[in-house]
Amino acid sequence: MDFDLTDEQRLLKDSVERLIADHYTFVQRKKYLAEPAGWSAAVWNQYAELGLLGLPFEEKLGGFGGGAVETMIVMEAFGHGLVLEPYFATVILGGGLLRRAGSDALRAALVPRIITGKLQLAFAHVERQSRYDLADVATSARKDADSYVLDGAKSVVLHGDCADTLLVTARVAGGRRDRGGVGLFLVDADAAGVTRRGYPTQDGLRAAEVSLAGVRVAADAVLSDNALPAIEHVVDEAIAALCAEAVGTMQAMHETTLEYLKTRQQFGRPIGSFQVLQHRSVDMLVALEQARSMAMFAAVMAAEENAAERRRAIAAAKVQIGRSGKHIGQEAIQLHGGIGMTMEYKVGHYFKRMTMIDMLFGDADAHLATLARLGGLFGNTKAA
């Protein structure tokens, strides 16, 4: 039983943390927010130089060959820094789909460009009616000779506004919520028939509504005509990544609050000297450590090929992260009093990002329902 990082992983952690410390102070972040894309191209290039954009990709294409633990390390540092760049959309979601559903040829064509920072991806999957059901796809893909023609609308596409290429799901066969028949297609963001409307999200990141009207996809841009199992695995890995980011976010809120309790004076003493606040600070720490543990559990289980077992683990992790995140976030604001409510101070920004992470790919309650439906984690007599 070994929770220690390898030397290589420790090196990765140190270098990402240093990058964030040097380039992602709260003041610097404010400047990046004001850039047209809402994030920093210069920092994106720093990620490229450090090899972060190639983290999960195979070494023969120039990647690092990293797994879920490497992703966890990077995402936790990103959460601590509240980064704005489209790493999750491009490397984790887009990259994950290329790894699990893309052909060797497609990966050879795209991955090198991702690694050098030249290509950004976005996963256009969620729709107005789908909420958190990954199988719910109304966008249609009509076969036309060797091509497909896509029609429909995609919602809240993370970093869909700046993506060069979209990975779009559309139904090739079956009813709207059937598990079979979900196709996955590569669509150029500037292709004829694609309309995007970009907007900021509550946490300062970006997303887009994407509509597809008669969008033609050639045969070599079809990743799969039955992509749901691969999508589910990629989303589980993505949730594990989000759990790690959330831990970094929670860590920052806990640290900031602790610092405030030690320095803010009222009634002639630091407010951290009041026992009630000390106990609540401890409760925040307990919540943080439980979340950290579950993020590690998620990283370890992300590669599990038994889908039901993986699903239970990831669902449990997302529940813990959601619960801990809400608790720590709400307490962080409360213990800061008025200044916790301002945009000028950082704790509110962390709180907003944590709130959005909770909502992505299903909130805590949605995953709790899934976990319950799948039989829970302990003492199961039902076969997986």
Partner 1 sequence: MDLSFTDEERAFREEARRFFRTEIPQSIRDKVAEGEGLTRDDMITSQRILNARGWATVNWPVQWGGQDWSPVQIYLYQDEMQQANVPTPIGFNVTMVGPVIAQFGNDAQKRQFLPKTANADIFWCQGFSEPGSGSDLASLRTRAERKGDTYVINGQKIWTTLAQYADWIFCLVRTDPAAKKQEGISFILVDMKTPGITARPIVTIDGGREVNEVFFDNVEVPAENLVGQENKGWDYAKFLLGNERTGIARVGASKAKVARIKELASMERVGDTPLIDNPRFREKLAAVEVELKALEMTQLRVVADERKREKGRPNPASSILKLKGSAIQQQLTELVMEVVGPYALPYQRDFDGRNEATIGPDYATEAAPMYFNYRKVSIYGGSNEIQRNIVAKAILGL
- Give the CA-trace dihedral at 357, 361, 364, 366, to 10 degrees: 160
- The distance of closest approach from Cβ of residue 244 to partner 1 in the complex, given in angstroms and rounded to an integer, is 20
As a whole number of angstroms, the distance between CA 382 and CA 310 comes to: 16
- The distance of closest approach from Cβ of residue 353 to partner 1 in the complex, given in angstroms and rounded to an integer, is 11
- The distance of closest approach from Cβ of residue 51 to partner 1 in the complex, given in angstroms and rounded to an integer, is 30
| Binding-site ranges for partner 1 (CB under 8 A) | 126, 128-129, 131-133, 136, 155-156, 177, 197, 199-202, 207, 209, 265-267, 276-277, 326, 330, 333-334, 337-338, 340-344, 348-349, 351-352, 355-356, 359, 363, 365, 369
Considering beta carbons, is residue 18 or 197 the nearer one to partner 1?
197
- The distance of closest approach from Cβ of residue 178 to partner 1 in the complex, given in angstroms and rounded to an integer, is 12
Considering beta carbons, is residue 25 or 265 the nearer one to partner 1?
265
Q: Do residues 86 and 39 lie in contact, with contact meaning Cβ atoms separated by under 8 Å? A: yes
Considering beta carbons, is residue 19 or 207 the nearer one to partner 1?
207
Identify the DSSP state of 4.
P
Identify the DSSP state of 5.
P
As a whole number of angstroms, the distance between CA 343 and CA 331 comes to: 17
- Report how far apart, in Å, the C-alpha atoms of 328 and of each of 264, 292, 338, 344 are: 19, 13, 17, 20
Considering beta carbons, is residue 23 or 264 the nearer one to partner 1?
264
Considering beta carbons, is residue 19 or 83 the nearer one to partner 1?
83
Cα 311 from chain centroid (whole Å): 16
Considering beta carbons, is residue 119 or 158 the nearer one to partner 1?
158
- The distance of closest approach from Cβ of residue 331 to partner 1 in the complex, given in angstroms and rounded to an integer, is 10
- The distance of closest approach from Cβ of residue 141 to partner 1 in the complex, given in angstroms and rounded to an integer, is 22
Give backbone dihedrals phi and psi of 361, rounded to 5 degrees, phi first.
Answer: 60, 30
372: CB partners within 8 A, 6+ apart: none
Strands 165-171 and 121-124: what pairing?
A: parallel
- The distance of closest approach from Cβ of residue 88 to partner 1 in the complex, given in angstroms and rounded to an integer, is 13
Cβ neighbours around 180 below 10 Å, total: 14
The token duo for 359 is 């909502």
Considering beta carbons, is residue 207 or 221 the nearer one to partner 1?
207
Considering beta carbons, is residue 248 or 340 the nearer one to partner 1?
340
Cβ neighbours around 250 below 10 Å, total: 30
Amino acid at 13: K
Half-sphere exposure of residue 268, counting CA atoms within 13 Å on the CB side?
A: 0
- The distance of closest approach from Cβ of residue 204 to partner 1 in the complex, given in angstroms and rounded to an integer, is 8
Annotate 44-82 with DSSP letters as a single string. HHHHHHTTGGGTTS-GGGT-----HHHHHHHHHHHHHHT
